[in-house]
Amino acid sequence: MKKTFYITTPIYYPSGKFHIGSAYTTCFCDTLTRYKQLQGFDTRFLTGTDEHGLKIQQAAEAAGKKPQDHVDYIASLAQDLWKLLAVQNDDFIRTTEPRHERVVEQIFEQLLAQDDIYLGSYSGHYCVQDEAYFTQTQLKDGNLCPDCGRETKIVQEETYFLRLSKYQDTLLQFIEDNPDFITPETRKNEVVSFVKSGLNDLSVSRTAFEWGIKVPSNPKHVVYVWIDALSNYISALGYKSTDDSLYQKYWVEGNEVVHVVGKDILRFHAIYWPIMLMALGVPIKFKLFAHGWYMMKDGKMSKSKGNVIYPDQLVQRYGLDPFRYYIVKELPYGGDGVFTPEDFVSRVNTEIVNDLGNLVSRTISMAKKYFNGTVRQVTHHHEFSTFEQQLVTLSGEMIASYTAQMDEFKISQAMSDITTLVNRTNKLIDETSPWALAKDPNTMDVLESVIYHLLDSIRLAAILYRPILIESSPKIFEALQVEEQYQGFDALVFGLKKEYIVNAQAPHLLPRLDAEKEIPFIQSLMKGESKAPKVEVIIKDEITIEDFSKIDLRVGKVVSCEKHPNAAKLLLLKVDTGDKVRSIVSGIAEFYKPEDLVGKWIVVVANLKPVKLRGELSEGMILAGDSAGKIVIIEASSDLSIGSMVK
């Protein structure tokens, strides 16, 4: 039986577009999940949206929408984004789903029946933004919220309370008995001192607004949004439902459960949630990892400051690997990190394009040039054996360190271990000068041994990168023709694959980013100015309307698309333009995958004289924009019928 691993992100507040900070937790969890899968765990990964509460009711009102419509829209934004980022969550829970609401109702009623929740009344300073009460001494500058700095309001209401005080000592004991329950250590210390300072019972219902889960036995009360939200981690597993098999498997009998959260919501997860579980008689199975925040040079990301950066913008321009690589690497363990366009460009260029990309392409071209692509493990000793042995030893150390770091949620450090391995491998090339060895027939077996070491080391790095460079790692395996049995974590042993047969072109992992162009581009994204860098505009000679009317432009729909058999830059499209389905050859293979185009509504120059392009007939041209070398197809609205004239 495989060991289980259950991991969750916080469920997100649907407050608009997700910036890179909010994408961090999800990318982090996705990376860890992929790592655990490679280690042979049976994984389950949950994320979702936190859709109740006054803040959301107000946001919906501001948008002129019903709350349900508002949250439907934002939940779809979240789901689209996770898809774009290739996040492999197994479930997506929304707190407005009946499967969740029914569980929260039961949890509340059980705690009420047990007298862990009781009715009382409350008067305090309430922050709408953070959905939390603060005492007078906690407030900043008079009546400002200590967390977000917004004005708090004095609210008095009849409310239910959860007896936190009753569980204070048991919680402290639990934290002491389970030293790795809360990590990093500094966060644990914060929690311990907060609990030791004394827990007040927590107000867990509201009567001032409607948008939430009603307390079944007293429906003028709405369940406090944190009691509602925290329950998602088990409601999504079917806790208290007719089928609780997932709950039994991944929670009760599960081997590992991890909640990953940002430091801002530590207290809720480290205090309220375990106390809720104790009161419910549910075992506290989880480990809590609280990460820091992504900041910008001038502080927190905010639209009004003009310093927000959105993940989809970066992914669309640079691809998945650079984004995912950067985002999980740049935030140091436990601390905050700063996003800067300069760092983004230089990390991608240095660590992926230079260190890894060059190593792969140099090694492949040497294997082909000197050995026709076939390179075997050579066993006898030679003058460079010491260097090779150093590499082998280091690879073992890095693999062990990487695993230890990943297991402690130190993904960024684990990634540095791979970089160390890659750099040591590059160093072997400098130490041995393969091109010099190739000149002497007597040193060809020495050369073969060196190249074998490079190849097998690349294989190890590509395995370690599997949870991170999700597109590049498979490309490396393909180019090196590494069979599946040598791609797994159990194949992380130097020398396991005895022979390499490398015929393919060196894979084009990632293009080098032109710092002079890309840094200003990202800066302009941050200011929300434009989606693309400014282009130099030179208008061609004037034409008359008659000249223009000679061009027959039509709306068409792409019915199929495939790669051109003889030209890597070309795609073959079949486009329905109303009169017929025409074949069109287009030079956009660098920018679109064939499957991305199928179903798109586009504009076609329909009366262009047919030509053959590299052996394939092309009956027209599709319209596209060229933005500093990046080609983007002009899409037509599907409100137009196929064959509509464009004028």
Per CB under 6 A, does 296 bind ligand MSP? no
Helices first, then strands: H and E counts in the chain: 23, 26
CB closer to ligand MSP, 134 vs 494:
134
Per CB under 6 A, does 311 bind ligand MSP? no
The encoded tokens of residue 444 equal 């060809």
Per CB under 6 A, does 265 bind ligand MSP? yes
Residue ranges of alpha helices (H) inside 44-163 are: 54-62, 67-84, 98-113
Per CB under 6 A, does 556 bind ligand MSP? no
Interface pick for ligand MSP out of 191, 234, 261, 480 (rule CB under 6 A) = 261
The encoded tokens of residue 279 equal 């009161």
For the bound state, the minimum distance from the C-beta of residue 18 to ligand MSP, rounded and expressed in Å, comes to 8
**Beta 256-262 vs 286-291: how paired, if at all?**
parallel
Binding segment for ligand MSP (CB under 6 A), chosen from 229-237, 391-399, 413-421, 433-441, is 229-237
For the bound state, the minimum distance from the C-beta of residue 243 to ligand MSP, rounded and expressed in Å, comes to 23
Per CB under 6 A, does 229 bind ligand MSP? yes
Distance CA 554, CA 370 (A): 53
Binding segment for ligand MSP (CB under 6 A), chosen from 135-143, 202-210, 259-267, 594-602, is 259-267
Binding segment for ligand MSP (CB under 6 A), chosen from 109-117, 228-236, 420-428, 504-512, is 228-236
For the bound state, the minimum distance from the C-beta of residue 27 to ligand MSP, rounded and expressed in Å, comes to 10
For the bound state, the minimum distance from the C-beta of residue 341 to ligand MSP, rounded and expressed in Å, comes to 16
Cis status, amide bond into 219, omega within 30 of 0 = no
Distance CA 368, CA 503 (A): 7
For the bound state, the minimum distance from the C-beta of residue 527 to ligand MSP, rounded and expressed in Å, comes to 18
One DSSP character per residue, 566-634 reads S-TT-EEEEEE-SS-EEEEEES-TTT--HHHHTT-EEEEETTSPPEEETTEEE--EE-EEEETTEEEEP
Give the per-residue contact string, 37-66, with ligand MSP (x = CB under 6 A; - = no): -------------x----------------
Interface pick for ligand MSP out of 223, 301, 479, 509 (rule CB under 6 A) = 301
For the bound state, the minimum distance from the C-beta of residue 8 to ligand MSP, rounded and expressed in Å, comes to 8
CB closer to ligand MSP, 201 vs 264:
264
Per CB under 6 A, does 82 bind ligand MSP? no
Distance CA 397, CA 351 (A): 20
The encoded tokens of residue 523 equal 């800066």
Give, as one character, the DSSP assignment of residue 265.
G
Per CB under 6 A, does 21 bind ligand MSP? yes
Among residues 309, 317, 319, 316, which one has the least CA distance to residue 517?
A: 317
For the bound state, the minimum distance from the C-beta of residue 21 to ligand MSP, rounded and expressed in Å, comes to 2
For the bound state, the minimum distance from the C-beta of residue 225 to ligand MSP, rounded and expressed in Å, comes to 8
Interface pick for ligand MSP out of 12, 160, 323, 465 (rule CB under 6 A) = 12
Interface pick for ligand MSP out of 264, 407, 408, 616 (rule CB under 6 A) = 264
For the bound state, the minimum distance from the C-beta of residue 467 to ligand MSP, rounded and expressed in Å, comes to 19
Instruction: Say if CB 491 and CB 463 are below 8 A apart.
Output: yes
Instruction: Say if CB 225 and CB 50 are below 8 A apart.
Output: yes
> What's the residue count for the chain?
647
Binding segment for ligand MSP (CB under 6 A), chosen from 16-24, 80-88, 406-414, 423-431, is 16-24
Per CB under 6 A, does 28 bind ligand MSP? no
Instruction: Say if CB 207 and CB 191 are below 8 A apart.
Output: no
CB closer to ligand MSP, 302 vs 389:
302
Taking each helix axis from N to C end, the angle separating 273-280 and 98-113, rounded to the nearest 10 degrees, works out to: 70
**Per-residue b or e along 176-214, where b marks 16 or more CB atoms closer than 10 Å to that residue's CB:** eeeeebbbbeebbebbbeebeeebebbbbbbeeeebbbb
Per CB under 6 A, does 289 bind ligand MSP? no
CB closer to ligand MSP, 229 vs 502:
229
Instruction: Say if CB 217 and CB 109 are below 8 A apart.
Output: yes
For the bound state, the minimum distance from the C-beta of residue 373 to ligand MSP, rounded and expressed in Å, comes to 45
Per CB under 6 A, does 22 bind ligand MSP? yes
Distance CA 546, CA 539 (A): 19
Backbone angles phi, psi at 525, to 5 degrees: -65, -40
CB atoms within 10 A of CB 438: 16
For the bound state, the minimum distance from the C-beta of residue 236 to ligand MSP, rounded and expressed in Å, comes to 11
For the bound state, the minimum distance from the C-beta of residue 451 to ligand MSP, rounded and expressed in Å, comes to 43
Longest dimension (CA), the chain: 90
CB closer to ligand MSP, 302 vs 350:
302
Per CB under 6 A, does 24 bind ligand MSP? yes
For the bound state, the minimum distance from the C-beta of residue 76 to ligand MSP, rounded and expressed in Å, comes to 15
Interface pick for ligand MSP out of 7, 11, 237, 624 (rule CB under 6 A) = 11
Binding segment for ligand MSP (CB under 6 A), chosen from 106-114, 145-153, 257-265, 622-630, is 257-265
Give, as one character, the DSSP assignment of residue 242.
S
Per CB under 6 A, does 13 bind ligand MSP? yes
Per CB under 6 A, does 10 bind ligand MSP? yes
CB atoms within 10 A of CB 550: 8
Per CB under 6 A, does 25 bind ligand MSP? yes
Per CB under 6 A, does 318 bind ligand MSP? no
Distance CA 233, CA 239 (A): 9
Among residues 577, 584, 531, 534, which one has the least CA distance to residue 556?
A: 577
CB atoms within 10 A of CB 343: 14
Distance CA 426, CA 366 (A): 13
For the bound state, the minimum distance from the C-beta of residue 293 to ligand MSP, rounded and expressed in Å, comes to 4
CB closer to ligand MSP, 10 vs 274:
10
CA atoms in the 13 A half-sphere facing the CB of 519 = 11
**Which residues contact ligand MSP by CB under 6 A?**
10-13, 21-22, 24-25, 50, 229-230, 232, 261-262, 264-265, 293-294, 301
